[in-house]
Amino acid sequence: MKNKELTRVSWSFLVYSKELLLIDFIMLVPGKLLLDHAFANQYAVGAFNANNMEQVQAIIDAAAATNSPVFIQVSRGALEYSRMTYLRNIILAAVEEHPEIPVAMHLDHGSDLEIVKRAIELGFTSVMIDGSLDPTGKRALSFEENLAVTQSVLEYARPLGVTVEAELGTIGGVEDEAGVNAIHYTDPAQAELFMKEAPVDSLAVAIGTAHGAVKFEGECILRHDLLQEIHKRLPNTPLVMHGSSSVPEELVAQVNKYGGHMPNAKGVDIEQLQQTTQFGVSKINVDTDGRIAVTAAIRKIFAEKPEEFDPRKYLGPARDALTEVVKARMIAFGAAGHASKISQS
């Protein structure tokens, strides 16, 4: 990693982060550094959502165990749930514990410029502006509206060295408050036009994945043809896949066995997901799998040890279960082994 670049980034945060001088020597990296390395080497960096300490620990433990770069991402809802500062500080603790792992702290589904500004003040090194939906998450924005809000974020974030992800097309399903039911596939010609007008660092595309635990009613079919066409038109743009949990049957079965109720759960086929990295996909978001792993572990303990009431006795195993899921995804996405290469380059 270029020292000059790191110095620039850390200094920009020293200046712009109103609240945190500490960040000057805790080295988060810009998301773009991870995206570009993954893009050049045809793998995808896993981007995992976190809401609490155990989830952040699981993600960094998995990254350290597999030598993987990682996006630790926080949705707008999670940021508010954590009263804005708690998660940021927990993520910085993870980086402090594992300085050898390049970590980007990413805002997932930023809904407007205000929340993006807030995240950047907190020290986030990467932000997503989801201009595919209006800030309530209930109405799809027009192409022009999406472009306008994305441009305003670019204008603000780029001079600060913060990476910007946008979304074109709408990914179906519901994640936190963000979501509509229908998938509107990304139009390759629109994607090309969008990138001309708002040249973001990465673009989330809709090719059939969906948020949540019920992604498909029938078979999982990702539109590789569409992805290929987008990649052909945007040969230098790292692409992002949202809603890409695989919803493992055994974890869903464990939830249901111990009193849960997750009917019709169905995720993305891992092999179909792996094929996307040859067409420019450089970041793959996984949230639901982590939620299910945590829930399955806690349910099992509550059922088998009803006498247990020490939170560490069920949050600890939940953390371990999540670590295993994150490790498996990092390996599947081809990110394992790359952390030290980024650090040395």
What distance in Å separates the CA atoms of residue 196 and residue 299, rounded to the nearest whole number?
49
Residue with tokens 């074109």: 168
- Beta-strand relationship, 70-75 and 163-168: unpaired
Shortest distance, position 130 Cβ to Zn ion, whole Å: 8
Shortest distance, position 241 Cβ to Zn ion, whole Å: 9
User: Of 215 and 242, which has the nearer Cβ to Zn ion?
Assistant: 242
Beta carbons within 8 Å of 99's beta carbon, 6+ residues apart: 27
Check residue 283 for interaction with Zn ion (CB under 5 A). no
Assign 100 to helix, strand or coil.
coil
108 is catalytic: yes
User: Of 66 and 170, which has the nearer Cβ to Zn ion?
Assistant: 170
Tell me the torsion sign for CA atoms 210, 215, 217, 221: positive
What distance in Å separates the CA atoms of residue 123 and residue 117, rounded to the nearest whole number?
10
Shortest distance, position 272 Cβ to Zn ion, whole Å: 18
- Nearest Cα residue to 300 out of 264, 260, 261, 245: 260
What distance in Å separates the CA atoms of residue 61 and residue 319, rounded to the nearest whole number?
10
61, 108, 130, 176: the catalytic one is 108
Beta carbons within 8 Å of 2's beta carbon, 6+ residues apart: none
User: Of 128 and 230, which has the nearer Cβ to Zn ion?
Assistant: 128
Phi, psi of 297 (to 5 degrees): -65, -45
Shortest distance, position 209 Cβ to Zn ion, whole Å: 9
- Nearest Cα residue to 28 out of 12, 15, 48: 12
- Residue 121's alpha-carbon distances to 23, 93, 163, 233, 263, in angstroms, are 11, 18, 14, 34, 41
Q: Which of residues 230-259 bind Zn ion (CB under 5 A)?
A: 242
User: Of 101 and 153, which has the nearer Cβ to Zn ion?
Assistant: 153
- Name the residue with the smallest CB distance to Zn ion: 242
Shortest distance, position 287 Cβ to Zn ion, whole Å: 7
CB atoms within 10 A of CB 144: 9
User: Of 75 and 254, which has the nearer Cβ to Zn ion?
Assistant: 75
What distance in Å separates the CA atoms of residue 275 and residue 273, rounded to the nearest whole number?
5
Shortest distance, position 307 Cβ to Zn ion, whole Å: 39
Q: Which of residues 10-39 bind Zn ion (CB under 5 A)?
A: none
What distance in Å separates the CA atoms of residue 132 and residue 169, rounded to the nearest whole number?
6
User: Of 205 and 234, which has the nearer Cβ to Zn ion?
Assistant: 205
User: Of 30 and 179, which has the nearer Cβ to Zn ion?
Assistant: 179
Shortest distance, position 171 Cβ to Zn ion, whole Å: 6
Known catalytic residues are 108
Q: Which residues bind Zn ion (CB under 5 A)?
A: 242
